[in-house]
Chain A
Amino acid sequence: MSTITLKVNGITHTLDVERSTPLLYILRNDLGLQGPRFGCGLGQCGACTVIINGAAVRSCITPVSSVKEEITTLEGLSSPGKLHPLQQAWIDEQAPQCGFCQNGQIMTAKAMLDKNPHPTDANIREAMNTTLCRCMSYYRVQAAIKRAAKAVADARSASRKEAAV
């Protein structure tokens, strides 16, 4: 066992854990963050995705001791009373079916949009292609990503106009 410090969603935690423990189990079972979920434990499906240093990371195959930067989980996207534009778009499109995979869909989409705010359809398909959904909600998820990208762009352009005034 080793003492490990993790910063998650703005809060710093100190834990006494095995260094090789996959980050996913620490988030879910020690920190009570259950947005990331176990789907395959192999890094193949994306259910466990969190964002570290701007990148979508599969927490099921990430040893906790290897994480040095702040971690953002699905719970960290929204602030009280205010959903992230992706989460709002997901509701507006009624994107999920069962919803079990949607942590992976949303977090992978966030990492993509943060790097590329105006993705083409091909960009979306490529960036999302290893994030699986067994209900096959893909068509709605792609629509929700486009809706969120537009909402963010519209908000930016509105705030620019406001600033100009």
Chain B
Amino acid sequence: MNASTGIPQQIEDILSTHPGATHPGSTHRRGFLKSAGMLVVSFATGAGALATEADAQTGAASHPAGPYHDPDFRQLDSWIVVHDNNTATFYVGKTDCGQGTGTSFRQLMSDELDIAFEQTTCIMGSTDNTVDQGGSGGSTAMERDSWPMRRAAAEARRVLLEMGSAHLGTPVDQLAVGNAVITIKGDPSKRVTYGELIAGKKFNVTLTGANVNVVTGVAKVKPVQELRYTGQSPQRDDIPAKVDGSLKWAVDVKLPGMVHARNVKPPFACAKLTGIDESSVRDIPGFIRVVKKGNYVAVVCEREEQAVRAARQLKTTWEKPSTAPFPASEDLFNYMRAATATSASRPIVEGDPDAAFSSAAKVIEAEYEVPFQGHTAFAGAHATADPSNGQMTVYSNDMKSYGMRRGVAEFLGMPHDKVRVIWRQGPQGFGRTAADDAGCEAAWIAREIGRPVRIQWMRDEETAWDTKGPAFLVNVRGGLDANGRLIAYEYSARSCDYNHVGYNEPDTVLIAQLMGSRRAKPAGGSAATPSETYVIPNRKMTGEVVSLPLVWETPLRTGNLRDPNGPQSTFAAESFIDELAAATKTDPLEFRMKMLTTDTKDDSGFHRARSIAVLKAAAKEYGWDPRPSAGPLRAKPGSNGNILTGRGVAYSFRGQTVVAQIAEVEVNRQTGHVWAKRLVCAHDCGLVVNPQSLRNTVECATLHGLSRAIHEEVQFDAEKITSRDWFSHPTLRHADVPERIDVVLVNGDPNPNRPDLRPYGAGEAALKPMLAAIGNAIYDATGVRIRRVPFRDARVLAALKAARV
């Protein structure tokens, strides 16, 4: 408890400081905005028990909180506050999924503002405190969303220099600025600090621009060469509090009067609730209520373990649907082959593929399968909602907190400005929290019972009922001429993605579905084509979507999983390129390079030139020895011929970020076990803001690709998901980790020859080629092509036995 404000310290921390960061001169945000007169905002916390922050400052009696207006992105004050001790706080409309983007934003903004990095802090992602930049997703943090931040910081510097000019009586062009101190050139004794100029006052500067992505002041951002912190690797500011246990995560929020809820999920997909026997839980100490509407059921208890017990113990009866909601997982691809497509993309056609196939000396065809793979966040969906004063405050790790605010408001039928979302850190979910369920659940239950509610999904619930990455079935056909050149190419993908769940949609969030919400026209879904720049004179590429028999209230609902269709399409496309190389007895790297260098035309982002660069960089780092794949099998010395070794390459791009990966694997021919002994990733995402953070991000994304290559698959029978925990939906473990991972940052530092070098996205790209790189390496090691992931031991062993390896 803070003695001066009467506000519990934890709540004050949530509202006034950056998670885990200690910094001087923290200004209470709401008080600042209110006193600055820019926005009429006030402050409320749990159950009406607490004074508002503004009240605490003014000594006034408690009054209703809200409304919660959006900070205006066209006001400079919404982005930057400079404090009297010459420190600054940056407010950005982003969230961090665990890659340390907040630190990188500080680097860029410190550079533009000309303030020491150490004197800054960054607050992210709370709807009434920071402008709406959409939260995170799609690897957009640096590529798109860092720009308005930089422009705002540059504008703040310009305004401060003008103020300094007036203060010192010297024209701006005769002033120097560094570390937030303005001096007269040639007479550094004449100085004034940013803090002295602005502290306690607002900038009152209006920016221009049609939307937050293009908002700008008058000032220009600096050329890359003048960025001082950008390209350095200051340590992430969130890590110390994550390793000493002091960080308050979204799961840690506690409010006075708070109770605990747990869901009771249907035991079968698409089931109808026919009965609840509340007497089965009434004797549980702390039991408060069963809440239900339609097929949505939850229990509420005073304590967390009581709610866990009540949810398990509550007797419910359900009726199965008259139609099987989906085929069993072992029948999935047969089902997808036979299904009528719900939609098809317009074919991408170049040249005359039919004629080219007719003239081809050799035609090769293959089919690839990628099953549903789970988001399987490390902890279940969670949120805490506070219904005090007729408002709704949701504490959440939703990566798109602004979308959650809209979603919760519309789900509850509340005005947007009566709802706010306070973003806190949470477990990485790879897109799961963009389609978060717990926020709407907590808010609905909180309103039902009139008390703050914390809800968290259990492990089986999260693994079975989270959103899934869509399954893909891909046919690829290639025509080679007599010289082994690929002259015809046909790629046809089918994705099981109908009724794909979007971001915080109040009519498709699971609680809404269970309560009976049905969209007249479900989202169509999508099936991606490959992302490569090979010169293939004649090609045709199509994507079709198929639907499962039932698409509402089903645990096989698809959502955006880290580069939503990229790993699936790239597994097929880059495996097939390897098959073509093998058919022509060509080194697989050389086969790719030939197709990239046949033509010199390139796009504006230099995709092809950069594709060549990353493949060369990966090959050099690995020490690639040119030879066709799957020649004589290479047994690891000392393994009695049981361990076969091989290497595989694959490449792709995601947006403007280009990635080439090489995997070296050991395959145990007795057990089928695949170990990736060494991984190389060459990565070009343009301007690198924080090399250390980028390397770690790339390493982890590469390993996520490995996990999806060797472990991950959602399994189900014809009525329910049977993957329900870390054994039945396994993930990568310590023992799977390669002996060595080499990350090559191809544009490792700001390039002095490109002053406008742009940063591109890095959160997803390094995942994309990994599945194919592993499959290609297994082929190189064993001569056996496995066209279905994951490469679990049993699948690999069966394939080796069938091929008598």
Chain A interface (Cβ within 8 Å of chain B)?
Answer: 1, 18, 21-22, 25, 28-29, 33-35, 37-42, 44-45, 47, 73-75, 77-78, 83, 87, 90-91, 94-103, 106, 121, 124-126, 128-142
Contact = CB atoms under 8 A, between A and B. Distances in A.
Contacts of B100: 94
A142 B737 contact: yes
A135 B240 contact: no
A136 B427 contact: no
Given A34-B249, A41-B458, A74-B245, A98 B734 contact: no
B242 interface: yes
The A contact surface, by secondary structure, is loop
Nearest to B251: A37
Contact of B734 (A75, A77, A90, A128): A128
A132 B378 contact: yes
A132 B736 CA distance: 11
Contact of B285 (A1, A40, A47, A106): A1
A102 to B, nearest CB: 6
Given A94-B693, A98-B425, A134 B731 contact: yes
B94 interface: no
Interface in B676-725: 692-693, 696-697, 699-701, 703-704, 706-707, 725
Contacts, number: 168
Interface in B399-449: 425-428
A75 B252 CA distance: 14
B789 to A, nearest CB: 16
Interface in B87-101: 97-100
B593 interface: no
Given A87-B243, A134-B427, 18 more contacts: A21-B305, A34-B248, A35-B245, A37-B251, A40-B726, A42-B726, A44-B727, A75-B245, A83-B244, A97-B99, A100-B379, A100-B426, A134-B428, A135-B704, A136-B707, A137-B700, A138-B736, A138-B737
Contacts of A1: 285
B249 A100 contact: yes
B72 interface: no
Nearest to A39: B379
Given A34-B252, A135-B98, A42 B459 contact: yes
B236 interface: yes
A136 B243 contact: no
A29 B428 contact: no
A34 B245 contact: yes
Contacts of B236: 94
A116 B406 CA distance: 52
Contacts of B346: none
A86 B249 CA distance: 21
B322 to A, nearest CB: 34
Interface of B: 97-100, 235-236, 238-240, 242-249, 251-252, 254, 285, 303-305, 308, 376-380, 425-428, 456, 458-459, 692-693, 696-697, 699-701, 703-704, 706-707, 725-727, 731-739, 741
Nearest to B308: A41
Nearest to A138: B737
A135 B700 contact: yes
B512 to A, nearest CB: 26
Contact of B737 (A25, A90, A139): A139
A37 B725 contact: no
Nearest to A64: B305
Contacts of A77: 244
A1 B100 CA distance: 44
Nearest to A134: B378
Contacts of B692: 94
A42 B243 CA distance: 23
Given A44-B726, A99-B238, A99-B247, A138 B732 contact: yes
Contact of A136 (B247, B379, B425, B700): B700
B308 A134 contact: no
B376 A134 contact: yes
Given A91-B235, A98-B97, A100-B249, A47 B726 contact: no
B703 A29 contact: no
Contacts of A96: 98, 239, 242-243
Given A29-B303, A124-B734, A135-B428, A99 B242 contact: yes
5 contacts: A38-B456, A40-B725, A83-B244, A136-B707, A138-B734
Contact of A97 (B251, B697, B726): B697
Contacts of A44: 459, 725-727
Contacts of A131: 734
Nearest to A133: B378
B251 A90 contact: no
Contacts of B737: 125, 138-139, 142
Contact of B696 (A21, A38, A97, A125): A97
A110 to B, nearest CB: 12
Nearest to B241: A99
A114 B308 CA distance: 35
Closest 7 CB pairs of A and B: A98-B98, A35-B245, A99-B242, A136-B703, A100-B427, A74-B245, A134-B378
Given A40-B459, A99-B238, A25 B304 contact: yes
Contact of A41 (B378, B459, B697): B459
A45 to B, nearest CB: 6
Nearest to B726: A44
Contacts of B304: 25, 28-29
Contacts of B738: 139
A94 B235 contact: yes
A128 B732 CA distance: 12
Nearest to B238: A99
Nearest to B247: A99
A135 B378 CA distance: 8
A121 to B, nearest CB: 8
Given A75-B244, A135-B98, A94 B239 contact: yes
Contacts of B243: 74, 83, 87, 90-91, 95-96, 99, 102, 106
B694 to A, nearest CB: 11
Contacts of A25: 303-305
B379 A87 contact: no
Contacts of A22: 305
The listed residue with most B CB atoms (<10 A of its CB), out of A33, A95, A134, is A134
The listed residue with most A CB atoms (<10 A of its CB), out of B98, B242, B254, B704, is B242
Contacts of B247: 99
Nearest to B20: A99
B92 to A, nearest CB: 18
Nearest to A22: B305
B595 to A, nearest CB: 31
Contacts of B735: 125-126, 129
Contacts of A142: 734, 737
A142 to B, nearest CB: 7
Contacts of B380: 38
Contacts of B727: 44
